[in-house]
Structure 1
């Protein structure tokens, strides 16, 4: 059950990023979709969806790899950051 929940949590940002790519693509071809009154707004929302979805996914991967110790030294948290974490 936990794996299914984790899959769903990762599926939502992936679908959001995919929708962002679609909104930007449709804007470049001049196709205005229903909820948007202007092409520029459709493109801006597409960028926001894409960046938010990709950022969530990348942050999850970085967090997971930091826990497993599989990141380069420049991406590891310093000992100062570890001490200042709230308990």
Structure 2
């Protein structure tokens, strides 16, 4: 059950990152989505979506590895 919850928690930031990549790609090809009114705003939103999704997933993995003591000395808590 815990693994299913973890997969569900990771799905939404992953989907957000994928959507960010998609709208950045659409910007490069000149396809404007109806919710954005300029291409540079669409690209910036895509970059933010991708960054937030990647940051969340990376933090989740780092937290899990710290808890299981799989990190080397570089990523350990200093407090």
What is the TM-score of this pair, normalised by structure 1? Answer: 0.86
Unaligned runs of 5+ in 2: none
Alpha carbon RMSD of aligned pairs, Å?
0.8
Where does residue 34 of structure 2 map in the other structure?
A: 34
Number of equivalenced pairs: 79
Where does residue 49 of structure 1 map in the other structure?
A: 49
Unaligned runs of 5+ in 1: 82-87
Larger RCO, structure (CA 8 Å, separation 6 or more) = 2
Where does residue 64 of structure 1 map in the other structure?
A: 64
- For 1:4 and 1:72, the matched residues in 2 are separated by 28
Q: Which has the larger radius of gyration?
A: 1
